[in-house]
Amino acid sequence: GQNIDQPTEMTATEGAIVQINCTYQTSGFNGLFWYQQHAGEAPTFLSYNVLDGLEEKGRFSSFLSRSKGYSYLLLKELQMKDSASYLCAVNALNYQLIWGAGTKLIIKP
């Protein structure tokens, strides 16, 4: 079967750094996405990795290792507004998106 695993919940302190991991097993791989979703709202696109390595975009970075079926999202200089759920999704066989359950990130002052 296909599955994507993420931690259910994480807590971090304002101003700190947090790493959210995602492991996947899918039929086919055409890229991995990270989305941010605030409670009751739609997901918004953060990053897309299709090749191994680190992609940096401001305070957010995303890493991919295809051989390990592993990705992480790194958030630096955490702000209270970063409190949200972070969804990992894989573009799998036939370009269908397989979604993880999301990681709820709680930021404390």
Partner 1 sequence: DGGITQSPKYLFRKEGQNVTLSCEQNLNHDAMYWYRQDPGQGLRLIYYSQIVNDFQKGDIAEGYSVSREKKESFPLTVTSAQKNPTAFYLCASSLDRGPEAFFGQGTRLTVV
Where on the chain is the footprint of partner 1 (CB under 8 A)?
Answer: 4, 8, 30-31, 33, 40-45, 48, 50, 87, 89, 91, 95-97, 99-102
Q: Quick one: 17 or 50, whose CB is closer to partner 1?
A: 50
74: tokens are: 């790194």
- Residue 77 Cβ vs partner 1, minimum distance, rounded to whole Å: 25
Minimum CB separation of residue 64 from partner 1 in Å reads 13
Q: 5-15 b/e with 16+ CB inside 10 Å = b?
A: ebeeebebeee
Strands 32-37 and 18-25: unpaired
- Residue 71 or residue 91: which is nearer to partner 1 going by CB? 91
State in angstroms the smallest separation of the CB of 14 from partner 1: 26
38: phi > 0 → left, psi -120 to 50 → alpha, else beta; which? beta
Residue 88: strand, helix, or coil:
strand
Helix (H) or strand (E) holding 1: none
Of the two residues 78 and 87, which places its CB atom closer to partner 1 in the complex? 87
> Measured from the CB atom, is 74 or 101 closer to partner 1?
101
Q: How far is the CB of 13 from partner 1 (least distance, A)?
A: 25
